[in-house]
Homo-oligomer: A and B are copies of this chain.
Amino acid sequence: MIRNEDFIQSKQVPGPTKEEVRCLVMCKAHICKDDVVLDVGCGTGGLTVESAQRAQEVISIDKNPEAISMTQRNVIKHGLLEKVRFIEGDALSVMTELPSFDVLLIGGSSGELPQIISKGYEKLNLNGRIIVTSILLETRVEAVETFKKLNMIPDVVEVTIAKGKITDRGTMMMGRNPITIISAVKNEDGNP
């Protein structure tokens, strides 16, 4: 995994997703080298860069032009520009015009999570995966309910990480915000 400090960061743009969470999202996404990945709400580009290292192509979407610019800078920094397309805009409209894909990562949904999941499901190839990361109580439930309606079986993992900070006094455990990762696989019988 790329270290947190190896991403260019800005106070105006959220992220990057922390190393351990990126790791777990990649684990749930198990991206293959032929996969096309959609990163909705790409923010600083943490998941875009990790995905681009594994996939054939990544399409990164954000409503915030500063996020698109930030993601672009990080993609360039890690030498992955030829693999990533950047689209500033609304995920729902963008997805309508896209061809199919294999992995849909949703880090931000501007209150349209159920619609984004449903639209994503339509466009998802068989055995494709949708992975939602959330720090909001409400988003978790919306994700679970939308997956159920689509006959997908949600995998729900709440991750609480504390990192040790080595100090003169000892190893101080610094807490992070708990993240919930809700994911599901599109397959014929609905089983993961």
A→B interface (CB under 8 Å): 1, 19-20, 23-24, 27, 30, 111, 135-141, 144, 148, 153-164, 166, 169-178, 182
Q: Is the interface of A mostly helix, strand, loop or mixed?
A: mixed
* Cβ distance A167 to chain B, nearest Cβ, rounded Å: 8
Report the copy number of this chain in the oligomer: 4
* Cβ distance A125 to chain B, nearest Cβ, rounded Å: 21
Q: A1-B27, A23-B24, A136-B170 are in contact. Are A176 and B175 (CB under 8 A)?
A: yes
Known: A1-B27, A1-B30. 11 other contacts (CB 8 A): A136-B171, A137-B164, A141-B141, A153-B166, A154-B164, A156-B166, A156-B173, A158-B162, A158-B164, A159-B160, A162-B177
